[in-house]
Structure 1
Amino acid sequence: MTGRLLKKWRAHYRTVNCLVFTEDDSLLVSGSEDVSVRVWSLLLIFDGYQTEQASTLYEHSFQEHTLRVTDMVTG
């Protein structure tokens, strides 16, 4: 790992508290102070053409939480 920034995008309305990759490294899951969890396809995020064509960059958004999301586990 180099620590080099590869990509940035607008993900949440407030601070992102946690990020978790799925076991196969195809998805990134983010949890935020805005009480939402979003699931991101890394293929979509890094494919410029698909990014331009998509209405949203996330695959799923879960907003049923009543408090900020501070930790997550995938499996």
Structure 2
Amino acid sequence: MTTVKFQLETLSCPSCVKKIESALNKQEGVKDAHVLFNSSKVKANFDETLIPIEQLEVTITKLGYSVLSKKVS
């Protein structure tokens, strides 16, 4: 299991949180994804044998949010 933290551009509304969490949690291989509204950060635990980290970033970008940085641990 791998954990990634994405720093996004400032989120404009609390409903953005549910939108991003829902889209990421539907991805095969994602165990759980959480968005922190106040800091505009996304933390996701996923199995990289099932889904590449790039796919998570693409999912966020397709929703209209810019990923500023990512940190894998």
- The two structures have a TM-score, normalised by structure 1, of 0.31
Q: Which has the higher helix share?
A: 2
* Structure with the greater alpha carbon radius of gyration: 1
* Greater per-residue strand proportion: 2
Structure of higher RCO (CA pairs closer than 8 Å, 6+ residues apart): 2
